[in-house]
Structure 1
Amino acid sequence: MGKMAAAVGSVATLAVQPGEDAFRKLFRFYRQSRPGTADLEGVIDFSVSHAARGTGPGAPKVVKSQLNLSSVSDHDALRAGLEPVSKWQAYGLQGYPGFIFISNPFLPGYQWHWVKQCLKLYSRKPNVCNLDKHMTKEETQDLWEQSKEFLRCKEVNKRRPRSLLEKLRWVTLGYHYNWDNKRYSADHYTPFPSDLAFLSEQVAAACGFQGFRAEAGILNYYRLDSTLGIHVDRSELDHSRPLLSFSFGQSAIFLLGGLKRDEAPTPMFMHSGDIMVMSGFSRLVNHAVPRVLPSPEGESLPGCLRTPLPADLPRDSVVDPCSVEDWQVCASYLKTARVNMTVRQVLAVGQDFPLEPMEENKRDIATEGSCHLDDDNSQVKRARLNPDC
């Protein structure tokens, strides 16, 4: 039996819950899956040889994606910590036009910078995070400084209370995304990080999207028990521009579905350094993350994160050095976590936000919705995924 057929056979043994659609059924299956068993045999792994992918009846065919090699110079790729575009391994899936999966194009060691930025810099005020709903701005001003000593001592005392960084679930950059009304706010904008904007522009250009503008970012911080509910990213006002997704840390399962939830999704692994680009038809399909996978070696880092960032960086690099002390904190965090950066262009050129009723502006900008990260400690139950998000 092929890999996909084996997984489908395993799914068929699950009882269907009332009102459960095909996507939710597979979401529940992979949420409860057991690593090392046949449960994960149907998950596409883009990091292995091309011939080994998508073999089984009904499995989507993996195809090579053509990149625009001349749009990004080798020097600009190096400035962002990326391999030359000619060396990237980019793939697509038949049936998903506009979907591009780039298997870890980062140069050895350069992921350190992006991890450190997500944990140390991007989590600072004035950026909004999930903790703002329950804490003052003074208390969440610098989560890194309040957490670094706790994380350095993690191995010494595993029963200690979780640090604020370990309680962090999301941060918004640029235009803030209101989880309550599912809209971006023109009234709450923080400067978009120039390094992340440059990285995103290079990736977008290589995928054929010249002139992409990074205007909003949502950073998701996953623990091993975290999930990302089934949803569609439709709040941006310009859907002709792609959504870029960057993954770091422990691996996860990503489900890529269709326009309706009664269409069974395609499962794939996201490993550290992988990049996904969703555009065209695939820009508005249902997707979710049902499972973060613990390292088979216990609490350890993926191999690509064990190589240090080079000491000598290009003079005009957007990547900053990472001290040994800072990486100790990052490494301690990532042994049981993953971080995902999604970057979006919200407005078309010359477009403005539509006027909103006054009552909409009074909503709490830090209110949490049901299409964001969820974990076992959350008050939002997984079984109550909102079908309209």
Structure 2
Amino acid sequence: MGKMAAAVGSAVTLAVEPGEDAFRKLFRFYRQSRPGTADLGGVIDFSAAHAGRGAGPSAHKVVRSQLSVSSVSEHNAHRAGLQPVSKWQAYGLEGYPGFIFISNPFLPGYQWHWVKQCLKLYSQKPNVCNLDKHMTKEETQDLWEQSKEFLRYKDVNKRRPRSLLEKLRWVTLGYHYNWDTKKYSADHYTPFPSDLAFLSEQVATACGFQGFQAEAGILNYYHFDSTLGIHVDKSELDHSKPLLSFSFGQSAIFLLGGLKRDEAPTAMFMHSGDIMVMSGFSRLLNHAVPRVLPDLTGESLPRCLEAPLPAVLPTDAVVEPCSVEDWQVCASYLKTARVNVTVRQVLATDQNFPLEPVEEKKRDITTEGCCHLDDKNSQVKRARLNPDN
């Protein structure tokens, strides 16, 4: 009990120290936290929610979120691998209007498709990734094919070199973000995946955002020594639309702060299948990921990933079958990793990108940015996870 009080007390002290960067201090606290100890006692766990209450000392902040149940048909939800919206467990936090946390609404087995897409399909060219700065397009043409045998026998040969998929840190979809100018542009556009667009549109609609258009996506590939620095997602030209975040694989701690860094953030777990929606006031708040954690049940993979994808899928489903061989590669990867997908609408309806000076268009699309992935073992130095800071 003493350790618990110390852990919670440190966060409370952090919040009231004048002139301190409360967010940074709490970020460091959780970055150095020890799983299985009282260090994580202050982290909200929405998966343990009961009667609208999560676990942890900050659970009093948890409230139920009302969804637009009738706006998404059960058929369309099933097409994307989701439960009927009426069964979703959605929560908000007092003091964070516009923030919605949906605790794993996926049907059993359907996460397999989304994990496979993130590793096998979305990582392919012409999509841009962090490896492009150090390798040719021919060398990064098909990361999956080059990595699958390494990953399939990962446990047998632990001293082998890391595969290219294990060196992957980010991939962009749709409108690419220019790391130098900190702006989106249409100069380097890749078709946005239709299945991910459909999934995003159903989630946005259920949360009350009719007409959401998925125009840009960033895939973040985390390992146990990865962090995502404190930042604000503000480069989209239209902030009236929500930011959608999908998590798959190992769990992580997410910190949601205020408009300024002197406001202490609220800590929460993100488990496999969880979805976060940041809109309204919460759309432009500071946030970060200080820690990726092994599965809290002690298993090598989260239990929600144990069930296979059903053999029979809806005829018009956007979800595709996943072979046993493909899932073996995915499961091997996820034993020490997690994947996060953020989807954004960049432009308002009938809005166009402003004209930019010619010299800006010539800059390298993989130039270093400010918000980066901190990965001690990464051979790709300071690879960025998220563009906005």
- TM superposition score normalised by structure 2: 0.93
Aligned length in residues: 382
Where 1:340 maps in the other structure, the secondary structure is strand
CA contact (8 A) 1:229 1:370 kept: no
1:191 has 2:191 as partner: yes
Once the two structures are superposed, what CA deviation does each residue of 1:125-184 show, in whole Å capped at 9, x if it has no partner? Answer: 000000000000000010000000000010110110100000000000000012222111
Q: 1:296 to 1:106 in 2, by over 3 A?
A: closer
Letter in 2 for 1:289: V
Q: Cα offset for 1:298?
A: 6.1
Q: Aligned residue for 1:224?
A: 224
Distance 1:87 1:301 in 2: 24
Secondary structure of the 1:49 match is: strand
Letter in 1 for 2:42: G
Give how far 1:295 is off: 2.9
What pairs with 1:141-290 in structure 2 (closer than 5 Å)? 141-290=141-290
The answer (yes or no) to whether the contact 2:195–2:318 under 8 Å persists in 1 is yes
Structure 1 residue 377: Cα displacement: 3.0
| In 1, Cα distance between equivalents of 2:102 and 2:49 | 14
8 A Cα contact 1:103 1:273, kept in partner: yes
Cα displacement (A) at 1:10 = 3.8
Are residues 1:68 and 2:97 paired? no
3-state secondary structure, aligned to 1:48: strand
Q: Structure 1 residue 310 and structure 2 residue 310: aligned?
A: yes
8 Å CA contact 1:3–1:41 kept in 2: the answer is no
Over 3 Å counting, the alpha-carbon distance change for 1:299 and 1:89 in structure 2 is: closer
Gaps of 5+ in 2: none
- Quote the residue 1:292 is aligned against: 292
- Cα distance change of structure 1 residues 252 and 174 upon mapping to structure 2, 3 Å threshold: same
Matches within 5 A, 1:73-84: 73-84=73-84
Question: Does structure 2 retain, via aligned residues, the 8 Å contact 1:4–1:55?
Answer: no
Identical columns (%):
85
Look up the equivalent residue of 1:36 and give its one-letter code. G
| SS at structure 1 position matched to 2:45 | coil
- Would the alpha carbon gap of residues 4 and 128 (structure 1) be closer, same or farther in structure 2, given more than 3 Å must change? farther
- Measured at CA, do residues 13 and 210 of structure 1 come closer, stay the same or move farther in structure 2, by a change above 3 Å? closer
RMSD: 2.4
- Counterparts of 1:230 and 1:201, CA distance in 2: 27
CA distance in 2, matches of 1:169, 1:344: 19
Structure 1, residues 223-262: CA drift from partner, whole Å, max 9, x if none? Answer: 1100000000000000000000000000000000000000
**Equivalent position amino acid for 1:224 in 2:** F
Quote the residue 2:116 is aligned against.
116
Measure the CA separation in 2 of the matches of 1:240 and 1:3: 42
Unpaired stretches in structure 1, ≥5 consecutive residues: none
In structure 2, what is the Cα distance between the partners aligned to 1:298 and 1:3?
22
* Letter aligned with residue 153 of structure 2: C
Once the two structures are TM-superposed, the CA of residue 2 in structure 1 deviates from its matched residue by 11
Residues 183/107 of structure 1: CA separation in 2 closer, same or farther (3 Å cut): same
Q: Per the alignment, do residues 131 and 347 of structure 1 end up closer, same or farther by CA in structure 2, a change over 3 Å counting? A: same
**CA shift for structure 1 position 363:** 1.4
